[in-house]
Amino acid sequence: MELKRLNEHIWYMPSEEERDRPNLCYVKGSRLGLAVDAGHSAAHVQEFYALLEKESLPLPDITVLTHWHWDHTFGMHAVHGLTLANERTDRYLAEWKEKIEKNGPGEFLAIHESIRREYPAGTEVTVRTADMVFSGEMTLDLGGCTVKVLQAEAPHTDDSTLVYAENDRVLFVGDSTCHDFFTGIKRADLCAKMADTIRKINPAVIMEGHWVPVPMEDTLEDLMTNLSE
């Protein structure tokens, strides 16, 4: 696995299907480094950090979560610096933290085979809540590089955060443009709202959680096809 460079401020470690690992992205300003998503496990985070170190990039100061799903968040306990999530994402994480601490990881491991590949028998599952919680929208100045984080209505979950690197016009959307993982439903009204939000932001490139970077139009086209109703 190697780190790919997207443009002046942005690098990413590509996603992997086998263990359902999303892209882990890195935005570097002159003062602060920001990661988009914390990854599936401590092992996932460590692989990402080893690649950053190889490129002499500082470890992230802030890690923003795109939504609560385990493959994007359960590495949080191993990240460097502070984590940032919207209040809904943080609430879901608190629920899973309590459940796993009380009952063990059985229910979590039963969700999907890819999870059991990421967590071979005996591996500990640790869930953390975020260090910083926001609602609505906020702007982060990384030093010559501005990043906006904003909550958005989307078909995948009801806790989506979009991350926009303004100078580079790259929008990180996590899985928010996909169907609901648990129901398989892709609600047309939510897709339309999401498409509207994306058009208003008007990014040049969109980075989805489990896909390669693409022009905005590609994402919009995918978003509005195979709708449930």
**Nearest approach, Cβ of residue 58 and Zn ion (Å):** 28
**Nearest approach, Cβ of residue 111 and Zn ion (Å):** 11
**Nearest approach, Cβ of residue 102 and Zn ion (Å):** 24
Question: What's the CA gap between 81 and 16, in Å, rounded?
Answer: 25
Q: In which element (H, E) is residue 208 found?
A: strand 205-208
Whose Cβ is closer to Zn ion: residue 175's or residue 208's?
175
Q: Kindly state the tokens that stand for 104.
A: 């063990």
Closest C-alpha to 128, from 73, 47, 198, 207: 73
**Nearest approach, Cβ of residue 115 and Zn ion (Å):** 12
Whose Cβ is closer to Zn ion: residue 128's or residue 179's?
179
Q: In which element (H, E) is residue 99 found?
A: helix 87-103
Question: 3-state DSSP call for residue 73?
Answer: helix
Whose Cβ is closer to Zn ion: residue 40's or residue 69's?
69
Q: Which residues bind Zn ion (CB under 5 A)?
A: 69, 175
Closest C-alpha to 148, from 178, 177, 173: 173
Q: Kindly state the tokens that stand for 210.
A: 């489990």
- Give the length of the chain: 229
Whose Cβ is closer to Zn ion: residue 114's or residue 167's?
114
Whose Cβ is closer to Zn ion: residue 97's or residue 169's?
97
**Nearest approach, Cβ of residue 173 and Zn ion (Å):** 11
